[in-house]
Amino acid sequence: MVHAQLDPTARQQLAIAAVEAKTRRDVSWQRIADAAGLSVTFVTAAILGQHALPAHAAKAVAELLGLDDDAVMLLQTIPTRGSIGDSVPTDPTIYRFYEILQVYGTTLKALVHEQFGDGIISAINFKLDVKKVADPEGGERAVITLDGKYLPYKPF
């Protein structure tokens, strides 16, 4: 049976324990994702409390991190999503994504609507990828791909 969380506190506490275990065991997010058999972005988001894992993946993650059966069960519950609260983020990395949306959010909206019409980009039927690439001018660049299904609004 599928179960959903009412209060995000349990998943937040599990996220803290999982990240501590990840650090103690010195494993990467990619290694955890490989054990789970799912993408690194999905598994990372799940461990941080934003997705439910399938049973086999929850068991694999718990085994790798040394988490108990309660954690296996909790990793499978549908979470109360949202990790940024109501105020402007203070963490510099998260703030930069907030800043990107503040600067380019209306541009993205205008371009999506011009190209697709009145609708949204799904965060449910969605893929996210993060890659590190060399910058031709020196250093490195982050390439972040947001790949969501377009869902048109329908009159009713």
Q: Which of 20, 25, 63, 122 is catalytic?
A: 122
Q: Which of 24, 25, 81, 96 is catalytic?
A: 96
Instruction: Please give the torsion angle defined by the CA atoms of residues 52, 98, 39 and 7, in that order, rounded to the nearest 10 degrees.
Output: -10
> Which element (helix H / strand E) includes 131?
strand 119-134
Q: Which of 20, 24, 63, 99 is catalytic?
A: 99
96 is catalytic: yes
Q: Tell me if 76 sits within 8 A of 53, measured CB to CB.
A: yes
Query: Is 29 exposed, middle or buried, given 0-12, 13-18 or 19+ CB atoms closer than 10 A?
Result: middle
39 is catalytic: no
Catalytic positions are: 96, 99, 122
